[in-house]
Homo-oligomer: A and B are copies of this chain.
Amino acid sequence: MEIIFLGTSSAVHSKERNHPSIALKAFGDVMLFDCGEGTQRQILFTKVSPMKISKIFITHYHGDHILGLPGLLQSMSLHGRESKLTVYGPHGLNGVKNAIYSLGYCAIDFPVEFVEIDSGIVEETDEYVITAQRVRHNVPTLAYSIEEKKKPRFLREKAIELGVPVGPDFGRLHNGEEVEVNGKIIKPEQVLGEPRKGIKITYSGDTRPCEEIISLAQDSTILIHESTFINKDNTNAEEHAHSTSIDAAYAAKYSNSKELILTHISTRYGEEYANIMLEEAREIFENTRIAKDLMEIEL
């Protein structure tokens, strides 16, 4: 699994930080979270293949989070993409879709499904579950978590002891199916170890500190949390419905997350501002990093 930060600024970008976007390579897929202007150019500087992006999750429809969508979709089409792409987002997505398709001579000749969602499970497979959660910004905004489903260990010795022949029945049991051995039913729980927690990544979108993000992020391996301002600019954060570094750190602490990555950094005051931010957060939550454009995290 790999997280690639494509853009880490807030509404005002800088030479160092492009508008928000995060790529996640996981489960044979590439997923994008938000898509600020210039995301497709940032992708050129990574190992991410834009043609492999299968899902885009939008947190909300402020320009800095969506203005890369029209260009990315048109470029995919120009490169001959045929496979479907799904764009998820909160209420208002159909309006965004209509604007994308009416912005000049828009050429998007492959299927793009736009799915308006609310809090709840967005997608669940045998391997993972993606959950959306409404958070508290000044427009409808969703945070997202993606959690790996990790199978319990298969107790091979125990299976042999119970008479299960080495072969395909091992796989069936590991996948949660019962098997019959010499007229006797063997249940998965007889040959599986303790439940194991998979990797969980949570991305806050833009939000004020709130219970909803703490609840969604519970026990995350990595919480990627917006941190637009330093503590001193708390009034600014409140006015624009954002979080400070301290807010982000408490969200990590109270959600029992393992690691915190600060992103959506105000660039108005330069990179020194980001350093202050990091120090502030670490006083509350030690295992904190600050995102930088093109930073990659392997899990």
Contacts and interface: CB of A to CB of B under 8 A. Distances in A.
A275 to B, nearest CB: 21
A273 to B, nearest CB: 17
Copies of this protein in the assembly total 2
9 contacts: A12-B78, A12-B79, A37-B40, A37-B41, A37-B70, A38-B38, A61-B104, A61-B105, A67-B74
Contacts of A103: 63, 66-67, 70, 96, 99-100, 103
Given A37-B71, A71-B37, A63 B104 contact: yes
The DSSP consensus for interface residues of chain A is loop
A107 interface: yes
Interface size class of A (residues with CB under 8 A): 35 or more
A63 B106 contact: yes
Contact of A66 (B92, B98, B104): B104
A139 B104 CA distance: 10
A207 B63 CA distance: 32
Given A14-B44, A95-B102, A99-B104, A74 B63 contact: yes
Contacts of A74: 63, 67
A68 interface: yes
Contacts of A11: 75, 78
Contacts of A96: 103-104
A62 interface: yes
A67 B66 contact: no
